Amino acid sequence: MPAVPGPPASRHSRARTFAVVATAVGVVVAATIGAVLLTHRSTPAGPAQAAQALRAALGTARRAGNFHYRAVATQGNQSQVIVGDATPDGGRQQVTFGTQRFSLVLVGKTVYFQGNAAAVEGQLGLAPPVASAEANHWISLQPGDPPYATVEPGITTASALAQVSFDPATMTTSTAGGRSVRRIVGVPSTSGSSAGTPAAPVAGRAGLQVDVASGLPTVFSTVVTAGQGQQSSTIRFSRWHERVRVAVPPGPVTYASLPAPTLQPVPGAGGPTLIA
């Protein structure tokens, strides 16, 4: 999906998490979320009200079940775009990351992968000759297959919404395009490393825009400066409640039936999120 907050879960070769390289915040959030003119801004509410509003928006989004999204992440000269449709128990994504182009479909616990040779090599870790032979063919992956943990996260409703993770600080209500919108702004969530040591401080801001009438999110944007420099991402949500039909693609081959990979897939995570 298409690597974001905290820093975002990211998909290194896929770019999550937009774990999806996922998987991103500075003062630019106000400009990104404010792509439309905001007027009649209310007095900012504090952290407690902002946190309550964030929980309410994500709860409403989970209950809506189905939605469409477009996630764009950039870091330096790298960019990733994930366009997807999420459902409570499945979904699909089209991902562009550098020269890699691939599609993902999740039905039950099986992920179906189809991509060009660069994506088959980069995402599944297959040797170049095998990647060329399997380019544009559907390949099914099960939970035990090594690339599964890289390509599966971020596809379902709950997993995609998990990308919207940050510590809210303030909230304002404004008018945008004739509609009342609520803007919740804060800082990216941080967590310790896998070794249990504190993570390096993350500089940045994150913001979620919510349509007041429906209570549903419309835009989530982040800009983070840490590690390798600045990473920014924007996820735009739309078509809530729209029926999404996710079906098994025709004629897939199993990943287990392919020659053993000679390369390790670059770790990552799914989602409308982004680069690491």
Nearest to 6 by CA among 167, 243, 127: 167
Residue 124, SS3 per DSSP: helix
Which residues form the domain of 231? Answer: 28-257
Report pLDDT digits (tens) over 62-92: 999 999 999 999 988 889 999 999 999 999 9
Of 8-17, 49-58, 155-164, 202-211, the poorest mean pLDDT is in 8-17
- Asked if residue 232 belongs to a domain, the reply is yes
Partnered with residue 105 across adjacent β-strands are 92, 112
Q: What is the mean pLDDT of residues 240-256?
A: 95
Residue whose pair of structure tokens reads 């952290």 in the numeric block: 47
Q: What is the mean pLDDT of residues 30-35?
A: 43
Give the pLDDT band (50/70/90) at residue 11: very low
pLDDT number for residue 213: 96
- 98: Cβ contacts below 8 Å, ≥ 6 apart: 78, 118
- Asked if residue 173 belongs to a domain, the reply is yes
Report pLDDT digits (tens) over 50-59: 999 999 999 9
pLDDT number for residue 249: 97
pLDDT number for residue 77: 86
Two tokens at 244? 């999404």
Two tokens at 95? 């991902």
- Asked if residue 67 belongs to a domain, the reply is yes
Two tokens at 83? 């366009």
Give the pLDDT band (50/70/90) at residue 203: confident
- Asked if residue 4 belongs to a domain, the reply is no
Whole-prediction pTM: 0.79
Distance CA 24, CA 241 (A): 26
Q: What percent of the chain has pLDDT over 70?
A: 73
Q: How many domains does the chain have?
A: 1
Dihedral pair phi/psi, residue 173, rounded to 5°: -120, 130
pLDDT number for residue 109: 97
- Asked if residue 39 belongs to a domain, the reply is yes
Nearest to 94 by CA among 117, 119, 74: 119
Q: Which CATH number is 205's domain given?
A: 2.50.20.20
Residue 245, SS3 per DSSP: coil
Please provide the DSSP assignment of 64-85 as one string: H--EEEEEEEEETTEEEEEEEE
pLDDT number for residue 44: 80
> CB–CB of 92/110 below 8 Å?
no
- Asked if residue 23 belongs to a domain, the reply is no
Type of residue at 10: S
Q: What is the mean pLDDT of residues 148-173?
A: 95
Distance CA 109, CA 152 (A): 9
pLDDT number for residue 176: 73
- Asked if residue 102 belongs to a domain, the reply is yes
- Asked if residue 268 belongs to a domain, the reply is no
Give the pLDDT band (50/70/90) at residue 262: low
pLDDT number for residue 229: 77
The beta-carbon contacts of 99-108 under 8 Å, at least 24 apart in sequence, are: 100/13, 100/14, 102/14, 104/1, 104/151, 104/155, 104/270, 105/246, 105/247, 105/248, 105/249, 106/152, 106/155, 106/156, 106/246, 107/246, 107/247, 107/248
